[in-house]
Amino acid sequence: MTTPLLSDALAIRAMASAFDAQRGKLPVPGDPHRLPGSVAVAQQISELGKLITELGDEALFRTVNGVHNSRTGRSVAGFSAAVRPAGEAASALGEVAEQLVFLEQTEHLHELPDGREARKTAGRVIDEALGTADTALRAAADSLHAASTAVSPPSSRLRAALGRTTTPVHKAAPAAPAAPATATATAVVPRTVRGR
């Protein structure tokens, strides 16, 4: 059975994953020969708009239907806090779209010195806007990940798995005895070979 608290945490984590996925779709800035496609940028702006609407809907639903307590408040605050960076990311991508239109419309001016300079400036603006979008999407996802933990902290077992240790997080592991240098080198190689 899923408790309302766990349900909120799962919804927040799902939204965080959606923002992580949007960040993964961003074009890589810095390559003037591989500009992002206008259609891909417009599609991503549309997707971000839908995510912003979902953030608002989740906050509204919990505000209207939730029991007014600190846990519900944390969920509402978590969804609401991600709206600002999500909006910044959408705005930055709007700037990218605008500059791409400018580049398409001035293609015939690339031989003229003034046209060439204006087009280089547009490329720099695109790179800066993509960097802004990346930072904002990371902030939105990080905010949501933190909110999900605040709403429903992971169990000690999960914290241990996330820390790549079998020792519970609240208990420090005893220090291992020092091994001879040759034994240590031999022990490290199999882990590397196994593909991590």
- pLDDT for the residue numbered 93: 97
Average pLDDT, the chain: 79
User: Letter for the amino acid at 172?
Assistant: A
Query: Does the structure show a pLDDT above 90 at 32?
Result: no
Q: Against a cut of 0.85, is the pTM above it?
A: no
Find the CATH number of the domain harbouring 140. 1.20.58
- pLDDT for the residue numbered 159: 54
Instruction: Give the structural domain span for 53.
Output: 4-161
Say how far apart CA 75 and CA 99 lie, in whole Å. 37
User: Letter for the amino acid at 47?
Assistant: E
In a domain, 176, yes or no: no
Tens-digit pLDDT profile for residues 162-190: 566 444 444 444 444 444 343 333 333 33
Placement of tokens 């993964």 in the chain: 24
Say how far apart CA 73 and CA 181 lie, in whole Å. 54
In a domain, 116, yes or no: yes
Domain count for the chain: 1
Which 8-state DSSP code applies to residue 178? P
In a domain, 133, yes or no: yes
Residues 6+ apart with CB under 8 A from 152: 5, 6, 8, 9
